[in-house]
Structure formats: structure tokens, C-alpha cells
Chains A and B, each alone.
Chain A
Amino acid sequence: DTAVSQTPKYLVTQMGNDKSIKCEQNLGHDTMYWYKQDSKKFLKIMFSYNNKELIINETVPNRFSPKSPDKAHLNLHINSLELGDSAVYFCASSSGQGYYEQYFGPGTRLTVT
């Protein structure tokens, strides 16, 4: 069974559209994250949720809005997509805040044309 899953794996869309990426973990973890890996391969934290509560919100445009309906899910909704949003987005989870081991999903490659 996949520990952290993301859908879709690939997402191609046009500028100005709104899209969502879903993330689910079946590990029973309390904390979930979204990371962005750009074309230069730098991986940066975007958001962190603990028990459905936002803990970290890095300097991310407010077009990006995470939604956590329950502890097992953290979805990422992006409004008014821009070319610069093209990247690979990774969801991750850990068993608690600050826990050393984060489990990452397979990533969603978003391409904005």
C-alpha cells in the first residue's frame, strides 16, 4: 500500500486556470506538508499542517490555498495559474511536529502553458 499518495501525477493546464492537487496518507500521521521543487531542483517548504491546523505558511502567493478536510488529507488548490507555478509539487507527512522522518509522496508535475 502506498504510504503517501498524490493525484494527479501529471497536470498540464493553461495560464489563468484553477487546479487542485490531492494528497492522502495512510500512515496515521498528524502532520502533513507541501513542498515545491522548481526547475533548478531546489525543494522548498510551502505549507505545514498539524492536526488540520496550519503551522507553516512560507512566503507563498495567496493564490495557493491548502485545505485539510481531515488528518489524512492535505489538498493544494491553486488559483489563476501562472507560468512560474510550473514545478513538481510534493506532499509529505510525519508522525508529529518536528519529527525527524518525513514520508514523501511521488510528486505531481504541474506544467502551466
Chain B
Amino acid sequence: DAKTTQPPSMDCAEGRAANLPCNHSTISGNEYVYWYRQIHSQGPQYIIHGLKNNETNEMASLIITEDRKSSTLILPHATLRDTAVYYCIVRVDSNNDMRFGAGTRLTVKP
């Protein structure tokens, strides 16, 4: 599976959009981009995933560049409860496990 690179930490003001970048320059054509998050002392939580088209659900939007070498997770109106570590994972869809990296620690500030 392709390796991902994320900034170690980011801050965001409450109510503003949080844009979390992820680089995956060695991604293969059959690898999906997944985002999970882990709120302190809890298990990871699935957010969203995509292959090449932009995706949106009730939690977030995922923007994948045309060359698929990077992506951005957007939380449109961040709240204090969105403070967490966000993991970007690249994986072949048929694989059976998620390989978590160091992630980005997002702190939403009042």
C-alpha cells in the first residue's frame, strides 16, 4: 500500500472549515483514499473514502487531485468535538486491514 504524508498538527477556529491535507504521491490506480479519526481515548472512527472523484457525506468532504497524488479532507464547520487525530490511509479496496500512520492532530479552538 502507498505511503501517506500528513502534517503532524493543525489548528482551526471553531465554526471555520478545517482543511486537512494528505500526500500520497506513490498511490496506485486501484488504491482508495480513506480517512479515519481518533478522538482522545476512543477507537478510530471512519469518516469518508474515495477513489478519484470528490466525495461528500454528512461528516466531511474529500477532495482528490486529478493526478491522485494528494487529497484534502474538509470539515466544513469545525466544532470543538472535532478535535482529534485524523488519519489518511491509502489501501487497495480488497485488502483486509487499515494501516494507520502518524496522522494529523487537529485542535479546534473556541
Contacts and interface: CB of A to CB of B under 8 A. Distances in A.
Contacts of A103: 46
B96 A104 contact: no
A61 interface: no
Interface stretch (B9-17, B18-26, B37-45, B67-75): B37-45
Contacts, number: 54
Contact of A56 (B34, B38, B94, B96): B96
Interface residues of B, number: 23
Interface string B60-104: 000000000000000000000000010100001111111111100
Most buried by B among A42, A55, A56, A98: A98
Interface residues of A, number: 24
A45 B99 contact: yes
Contacts of B95: 98
Contact of B96 (A43, A97, A107): A97
Contacts of A44: 99-100
A4 B95 CA distance: 21
Interface of A: 4, 31, 33, 41-45, 48, 50, 55-56, 90, 92, 97-98, 100-107
Interface of B: 32, 34, 38, 41-46, 49, 85, 87, 92-102
